[in-house]
Amino acid sequence: MSSYSTTHDGLERVLEGTRVLTHAVGPTRSLRTVPLIVLTGIVTAVVAVASRQFADAMPDGFTGEWLATWALGALAALAFARTSARIAYSLVHAARRFSGRLAQSHAEQAFLEAARHDPRMIADIRAAQNRAEVE
């Protein structure tokens, strides 16, 4: 049987550092995913349209076509980066508003369901409605 250590202090520190870094960077990395997906879609559309429209003007051979397509994709990425970020921002906020409204609707339904089974809650609701009508 060997009496060698199965751990190493330096390796344990590195592994702990990577866990901390992964935990710290994880949420911010996901925020950049939506703009990246939107930008990829826009660039792909630009490249597809350009390759159909200008297929005859593309250089012959794989290397020439690849370079022309790559250059067009890079220019499209630079041109539409800010636009894709705005679209992604709008999409994320619309999704958050929708989920907030959905959560509020579920909470109201749960409250009304609880009120149906508790006469005190119904009395409180009626009293609040009467006060609102008087004011």
Domain edges within the chain: 9-134
Cα(47)–Cα(81) distance, integer angstroms: 15
Structure-derived torsion over alpha carbons of residues 109, 113, 115, 116, reported in degrees to the nearest 10: 140
pLDDT per 10-residue tile (average), the chain, 135 residues: 66 73 57 79 87 74 78 86 86 90 91 86 87 86
Residue-level pLDDT at 63: 77
Residue 21 has what pLDDT? 62
